[in-house]
Amino acid sequence: MYEYNQFDRDFVENRNKQFRAQVERRLDGSLTEDEFKPLRLMNGLYLQLHAYMLRVAIPYGTLNSRKMRQLAYLADKWDKGYGHFTTRQNIQYNWPKLKDVPDMLDALGEVEMHAIQTSGNCIRNVTADHFAGAAADEIEDPRPTAELLRQWSTDHPEFQFLPRKFKIAITGAPNDRAVVKAHDIGIQMNRNEAGEPGYRIIVGGGLGRTPMIGKTVREFLPKEDLLPYLEAILQVYNLNGRRDNKYKARIKILVHETGVEEITSMIEEVFEKQKSLHQAPPAEMIEAIEAQFLPPEFDTRPIDEDKLSKIIAADPLLRSFVETNTDLHREDTHTIVTISLKPIGGTPGDATGDQMRVMANLAEAYGYDELRISHEQNVILPHVRRDDLPEIFKVLKDAGLATANVGLLSDIIACPGMDYCALATARSIPVAQELSNAFEDLKRQKDIGPLKIKISGCINACGHHHVGHIGILGLDKAGVESYQITLGGDGTETAAIGERTGPGFSYEEIVPAIGRIIDRYLELREDGSETFLEAYRRVGADPFKDALYSSEAENA
Amino acid sequence: MARAFTPKVVTANALLEGDVIYMKPNGEWSRLHSEAKLFEDETEANDALAHASEQASLLVGAYLADAVKRKDGKPEPVHFREVFRTKGPSNYPDHGKQAEL
Amino acid sequence: MMSILVRDNGFAEDRWEAEGGLFIDLEKFGQDVAEKVSENTCVDIPNDVHIDSLKGLFENAAMIRIPFPSFADGRGFSLAKQLRQHGYEGTLRAVGHVIADQYGFARSCGFDEVEIDNDLAARQPEDQWLARLPQDDLSYQNKWLVEREGRNF
């Protein structure tokens, strides 16, 4: 866990003072609303449909108990007792008042957190693999690099007024849990033939109106070249990205219109210049960052496997939880626990202040004081001993946090949609709730198997619908909510954009329509081991289109 | 051909509180859609919007939203987005304006 | 419209033309501009110009002026940075809609001064700009610069 040094503390304090002054200057007329808006966005403050919304960064998804308790405190004091974990490792508060926001930011500063650059046309909160430092398949922990990028991008004088927002994600494992190919810049840690560590750099991915899978511009970049290389990419983008049309302003459009070869040579040309001039941070500073992400001293005393398996076998709910909500840890005495924030019928990603405190207590008691937030809107205890699982499960169950549905149908990603968002064209949360209710039987969900349903309430695709195995996009068709379905999307290392099935469905029709897709999958799968995505890749879209549209006609 | 004018209310978000507000017949602002003035004349509606847009120290993002006259003479929103704005989020019936209705 | 110059020591009147300086427009003179440049000229360049087409100006232009049509258009920051990276040592002036909150960014990217109109100067008086001097504007970029080169602003 990175701990702030004096400079980090001074920086955040100074930044919060600036924001407090900006609020006052908005009220006294020094700043127009047009001028204030980008400034408040850069500090995470939106004006949404019903109220202001404050988006707080959880850099690379890493938290400890103290920070989680402070998030609970903010929820209780300035919101309505809950917070919403987003699809980009942030937490959002939906009900702050403008005059309270400077105090909220100060409260965050007390626990070394901030809301800087969680919005605006600048480099956003850098996201990383939520299993970083714990996963069995990891080559290297991406978080020291992510922290370096947090510092580099924060208040970078050249890149605060880009053509559009700019998102960076990084992973250190071959299994991509950070969706790096759907980011403006995706970074995969790798090694060259000599075994030296470096990065593969992917540019121009993104979802939104024009979904694109990122293109590799550098197969191997030596570690020390990372910042000058990113500066080169950003400089090329800042000078050449389109500013005439906000829907064409992301770097993916520049890459697409310019061509990968040409953009690569533009980047390399600027990089040559940057490399010799770049004001890189001192090496000691990078080493100091790395030292703060060393793994905890794992308690590796042997586990009484007989005893543990008997306890698990005796409790079907616990057994189900262990099967569904845990992942392989690099230490075989340990496991990774994913706490689902998707209770049946609940709002995806919401947690009450009390639930946050329960998770903080568990991290402290059993998890080396570490917590992670995933882009799938769940909370993770990255390091727990396997023989602590029964006790952890009991505590989670009492707090309503033990839903054993991770990776299953009801583990739905949904953006806030028109229940909160000023940009939304339709609701997404109630669609998720109704789907979850319609498939409430977890045994049935398990039989259906791994399935990622992702719902966005507008074309901006915050709900990542393009990379859902089943994607749902809510639109406004002539004053009525209409939901388009895409199939076959994939946000992992085998990334793919889902294919649209055809005409949309009304709010009332969308849940039954998804039901018909599931039924068709169950009919046509070869056996229980063929997942929905595998079956889709084998048979294509036609059988599902048939289920969607011809049976609808029959039932009419 | 220009579209025929349909009745409108002037709406915005309050600068300090952030919540949805509507212009009343006396030019002041209400949290309730039912208290909004329904503009049935286009010029009058545009003038009211221009007046609202000058009140930068009170509100943000004023615009005209379609509304119709209910039987009791009070305005009612037309588009579902405007209906949600009068209520609050559908996943928490006790949050937002609907809590007080 | 009258204009005000913002520098690290506060607001000042623009004395450039009064003291015999000239403004010449790169777009108007195109290829011939290099011949007209001397130590009393300031070249106005558009913010979408490629750095290579400015190379002939470097040695002689006393000042280069980069426009900010809107404070949200950040191209001028990168262009200023590029000019410095390519060795331009004369005065760099930002002109147009730059807000006080951006003063530290402008200075860190290589600008020496910012030219704003009277209306903006009245709305955002001197103290709002002086609150954002680069040396007070804590930034990781500046910190690394100081730590590496032991130099200060």
What is the average pLDDT score of chain A? 96
Q: Right CATH number for A6-110 from 3.90.480.20, 3.20.20.100, 3.30.1300.10, 3.40.1710.10?
A: 3.90.480.20
**Chain A interface disruption, residue of B78, B81, B91, most A CBs within 10 A:** B91
Q: What is the dihedral of CA A210, A216, A221, A226, to 10 degrees?
A: 0
- Residue boundaries of the structural domains of chain A: 6-110, 127-291, 305-398, 418-555
pLDDT of the residue at A282: 78
pLDDT band at A277 (very low <50, low <70, confident <90, very high): confident
Res. A503: pLDDT tops 50: yes
**Chain B interface disruption, residue of A30, A40, A47, A49, most B CBs within 10 A:** A49
Q: Are A382 and A372 in contact (CB under 8 A)?
A: yes
Report chain A residues whose CB lies below 8 A from the CB of B95: 80, 94-95
- Residue whose pair of structure tokens reads 């010799």 in the numeric block: A276
Res. A88: pLDDT tops 80: yes
Q: Does domain A127-291 have CATH number 3.40.50.300?
A: no
Res. B2: pLDDT tops 90: no
Out of A7, A29, A162, name the one closest to residue C143 (CB).
A7
For helices A260-277 and C75-85, angle between their N-to-C axes, nearest 10 degrees: 60
**Interface list for chain A against chain C, based on CB atoms closer than 8 Å:** 7, 10-11, 14-15, 18, 21-22, 25, 29-31, 35, 38-39, 121, 151-152, 154-162, 235, 238-239, 243, 273-274, 277, 279-282, 285
pLDDT of the residue at C77: 98
Res. A264: pLDDT tops 50: yes
pLDDT tens digit sequence for A290-342? 999 999 999 999 999 999 999 999 999 999 999 999 999 999 999 999 999 99
Across the interface, do C138 and A243 touch by the CB < 8 Å criterion?
Answer: no
Q: Tell how strand A480-487 and strand A470-477 pair up.
A: antiparallel
pLDDT of the residue at A284: 84
Res. A279: pLDDT tops 70: no
pLDDT band at B100 (very low <50, low <70, confident <90, very high): confident
- Structure-model confidence comparison of residues A190 and A276, the more confident one: A190
Across the interface, do A429 and B88 touch by the CB < 8 Å criterion?
Answer: no
Q: Are A90 and A57 in contact (CB under 8 A)?
A: yes
Residue B67 is encoded by which pair of tokens? 């509304």
Across the interface, do A277 and C138 touch by the CB < 8 Å criterion?
Answer: no
pLDDT band at C138 (very low <50, low <70, confident <90, very high): confident
Distance CA A218, CA A290 (A): 24
Per the DSSP assignment, residues forming a β-bridge with A487 are A470, A499
With CA atoms as reference, the chain A residue closest to B98 would be A50
User: Which chains contact B through at least 3 pairs of Cβ atoms less than 8 Å apart?
Assistant: A
Any chain B CB within 8 A of the CB of A95?
yes
Report chain A residues whose CB lies below 8 A from the CB of B90: 419, 427, 429-430
Across the interface, do B60 and A47 touch by the CB < 8 Å criterion?
Answer: yes
Q: Does domain C3-149 have CATH number 3.40.50.300?
A: no
User: What's the gap between Cα A323 and its chain centre?
Assistant: 23
Q: What percent of chain A has pLDDT over 90?
A: 95
Name the 3-class secondary structure at A412.
coil
Q: What 3 state SS string does A302-362 have?
A: CCCHHHHHHHHHHCHHHHHHHHHHEEEECCCCEEEEEECCCCCCCCCCEEEHHHHHHHHHH
Res. C152: pLDDT tops 50: no
Any chain A CB within 8 A of the CB of C133?
no
Res. C153: pLDDT tops 50: no
Report chain A residues whose CB lies below 8 A from the CB of C104: 157
pLDDT tens digit sequence for A376-434? 999 999 999 999 999 999 999 999 999 999 999 999 999 999 999 999 999 999 999 99
Res. A181: pLDDT tops 60: yes
Res. C2: pLDDT tops 90: no
pLDDT of the residue at A554: 52
Residue A223 is encoded by which pair of tokens? 């570690």
The mean pLDDT of A462-480, rounded to a whole number, is 96
Q: What is the largest CA-CA distance in chain C?
A: 44
The mean pLDDT of A502-515, rounded to a whole number, is 97
Res. A10: pLDDT tops 50: yes
Report chain A residues whose CB lies below 8 A from the CB of B13: 47
**Chain A interface disruption, residue of B68, B79, B94, B95, most A CBs within 10 A:** B95
Which residues are CB-neighbours of A379 under 8 A, at least 6 positions away? A85, A338, A339, A341, A351, A359, A371, A372, A373
Distance CA A427, CA A434 (A): 12
Across the interface, do A30 and C145 touch by the CB < 8 Å criterion?
Answer: no
Report chain C residues whose CB lies below 8 A from the CB of A25: 124, 128
Report chain B residues whose CB lies below 8 A from the CB of A419: 84, 89-91
Q: Which value, in Å, is the radius of gyration of the alpha carbons in chain A?
A: 23
Phi-psi region of A319 (alpha: psi -120 to 50; beta: other; left: phi over 0): alpha
- Residue whose pair of structure tokens reads 């889709």 in the numeric block: A536
The mean pLDDT of A143-147, rounded to a whole number, is 97
pLDDT tens digit sequence for C12-27? 999 999 999 999 998 8
Across the interface, do A51 and B78 touch by the CB < 8 Å criterion?
Answer: no
Q: What percent of chain A has pLDDT over 70?
A: 98
Distance from the C141 Cα atom to the nearest Cα atom in chain A, whole angstroms: 7
Assess whether chains C and A touch, using the rule of 3 or more C-beta pairs within 8 angstroms.
yes
Distance CA A556, CA A554 (A): 5
Across the interface, do A11 and C138 touch by the CB < 8 Å criterion?
Answer: yes
Which residues are CB-neighbours of A465 under 8 A, at least 6 positions away? A207, A454, A455, A456, A471, A472, A473, A486, A489, A498
Out of C71, C108, C144, name the one closest to residue A35 (CB).
C71
Q: Where are the beta strands (DSSP E) in B1-101?
A: 8-14, 20-23, 29-30, 59-69, 75-77
Any chain A CB within 8 A of the CB of C138?
yes
Res. C1: pLDDT tops 70: no
pLDDT tens digit sequence for C37-81? 888 899 999 999 999 888 888 778 999 999 999 999 999 999 999
Distance from the C18 Cα atom to the nearest Cα atom in chain A, whole angstroms: 30
pLDDT tens digit sequence for A123-133? 999 999 999 99
Query: What is the layout of strands, in order, in the sheet containing C22-25?
Result: C10-13, C3-7, C113-117, C91-96, C63-68, C41-44, C22-25
With CA atoms as reference, the chain B residue closest to A421 would be B89
CATH topology for the A305-398 domain: Sulfite Reductase Hemoprotein; domain 2 (3.90.480)
Report chain A residues whose CB lies below 8 A from the CB of B15: 26-27, 98
With CA atoms as reference, the chain A residue closest to C98 would be A35
Report chain A residues whose CB lies below 8 A from the CB of C75: 238-239, 243
Q: What global pTM score does this model have?
A: 0.95
For helices A507-524 and A532-539, angle between their N-to-C axes, nearest 10 degrees: 80
Closest by CA to B89, choosing from A347, A32, A443, is A347
Assess whether chains B and A touch, using the rule of 3 or more C-beta pairs within 8 angstroms.
yes
pLDDT tens digit sequence for B34-82? 999 999 999 999 999 999 999 999 999 999 999 999 999 999 999 999 9
User: Which chains contact A through at least 3 pairs of Cβ atoms less than 8 Å apart?
Assistant: B, C
The mean pLDDT of A510-534, rounded to a whole number, is 97
pLDDT of the residue at C39: 83
CATH topology for the A418-555 domain: Sulfite Reductase Hemoprotein; domain 1 (3.30.413)
In what helix (H) or strand (E) does residue A16 lie, and over which residues does it extend? helix A6-27
pLDDT of the residue at B1: 54
Closest by CA to C92, choosing from C75, C68, C109, is C109
Any chain B CB within 8 A of the CB of A27?
yes
Residue type, A519: D
Which residues are CB-neighbours of C99 under 8 A, at least 6 positions away? A31, A35, C71, C120, C124
- What is the number of CB-based contacts under 8 A between chain A and chain B? 70
Q: What percent of chain C has pLDDT over 90?
A: 69
Res. A552: pLDDT tops 60: no
Q: In this structure, what are the phi and psi dihedrals at residue C123, rounded to the nearest 5 degrees?
A: -75, -40
Give counts: helices (H), strands (E), chain A.
18, 21
The mean pLDDT of A515-534, rounded to a whole number, is 97
Report the half-sphere exposure of A505 (CA within 13 A, side-chain side). Answer: 22
pLDDT band at A151 (very low <50, low <70, confident <90, very high): very high
